Amino acid sequence: MKDTQDAKPDVLVGLEKVGVTNLKTLIHTTWKGQGYYFTPSIEITINLEKNKKGVHMSRLIESIAEAVEEESAKTGSSIEDIEKRILEALARRHPYRRGEIRMETELIIPKETPVSRRKTAEAHQVEVSVIKDDGSYAKRLKVTVFGNTVCPHSMETAGVPHMQRAVGELTVETGFGNVVGLEEMVECVEQSFSSEVYTLLKSEDEKHVVEKMYRNPKFVEDVAREILEKAKKRFRKCRIRSKVISHESIHRHDVIAEGSVQSSS
């Protein structure tokens, strides 16, 4: 019996991305000798030829299940290793020309408070995507990091600045084999704000952070540019994008700045 999915569709147009999204599962990874557990939200899609009615969706899920089980058993697998293995497992089950898998999760990075030297744990949203296109693999990594902006304009006109929470995003696209660490990406964003932020701050730490903010007034534009510059120096052969949103303390609306550069080989 022929599957409905393999029938000829009424409209003969190929589709770019067909698959499942908002799928959650548990994965185990290893990075620099340390084990991590994640519960990412996953999207996996493949292209659909114009003469096929549908994608066999359960094969996408089976490929995730198979690769997650195999890779989680090993030590030494990163999120992107697991994703590549999923696309390979899928190729054995379902033909496709272009496939893409994305995992969104939270990365907890341990840190020390700046003066009192207490241990804290800082959570950052990360997205890791692997794309297989005509046989070659590429990846896209994105981190979303909290910080702040301190307005240089009001510092000049009022003598004192308004300031606020801001959120910076850094995205890099590069070949699969090019090593780019998510922690290093987080650092590029954190260090571009007026100050980095912390989960725990004792009085002496708070004083240190606040004083640093007043010494580093920055527009959202300044932060977006510094992220680009830091990432360009640090990561080779990458397409680099930054986007910064500042939750203005004197307005109801937000301000944004976005830009992109290509790093040299």
Total residues in contact with its own copies, by rule CB under 8 A: 95
Phi and psi at residue 141, to the nearest 5°:
-120, 140
32: left (phi over 0), alpha (psi -120 to 50) or beta: left
Please list, residue by residue across 59-83, b when 16 or more beta carbons sit within 10 angstroms of its beta carbon and e when fewer do: bbbebbebbbeebbeeeebbbbbbb
With binding defined as CB under 8 A, does residue 62 bind its own copies?
yes
141: Cβ contacts below 8 Å, ≥ 6 apart: 80, 126, 127, 128, 129, 171, 172, 180, 182, 185
* Tokens representing residue 30 in the block: 């290893």
Instruction: Report the length, in residues, of the chain.
Output: 265
Question: CB 51 → its own copies: shortest distance, Å?
Answer: 12
With binding defined as CB under 8 A, does residue 254 bind its own copies?
yes
What's the gap between Cα 43 and its chain centre? 14
Position among 75, 92, 97, 123 found at the interface with its own copies (CB under 8 A): 123
With binding defined as CB under 8 A, does residue 111 bind its own copies?
no
With binding defined as CB under 8 A, does residue 32 bind its own copies?
no
DSSP state of 135: T
With binding defined as CB under 8 A, does residue 93 bind its own copies?
no
With binding defined as CB under 8 A, does residue 198 bind its own copies?
yes
Q: Which of these ranges, 86-94, 132-140, 178-186, 219-227, lies near its own copies under the rule CB under 8 A?
A: 219-227
CA distance 106 to 203: 28
Contact 127, 72 (CB under 8 A): no
With binding defined as CB under 8 A, does residue 97 bind its own copies?
no
Position among 71, 80, 81, 122 found at the interface with its own copies (CB under 8 A): 122
With binding defined as CB under 8 A, does residue 19 bind its own copies?
yes
Position among 82, 131, 224, 231 found at the interface with its own copies (CB under 8 A): 224
With binding defined as CB under 8 A, does residue 228 bind its own copies?
yes
Contact 107, 126 (CB under 8 A): yes
Q: Which is nearer to its own copies, 55 or 128 (CB)?
A: 55
Position among 148, 171, 188, 231 found at the interface with its own copies (CB under 8 A): 148
Q: Which of these ranges, 14-22, 75-83, 90-98, 177-185, lies near its own copies under the rule CB under 8 A?
A: 14-22
Question: CB 33 → its own copies: shortest distance, Å?
Answer: 17
Q: Which of these ranges, 23-31, 72-80, 84-92, 170-178, lies near its own copies under the rule CB under 8 A?
A: 23-31
With binding defined as CB under 8 A, does residue 112 bind its own copies?
no
Position among 91, 115, 138, 261 found at the interface with its own copies (CB under 8 A): 261
**Helix, strand, or coil here: 120?**
strand
CA distance 43 to 20: 6
CA distance 204 to 115: 6
Position among 112, 133, 183, 258 found at the interface with its own copies (CB under 8 A): 258
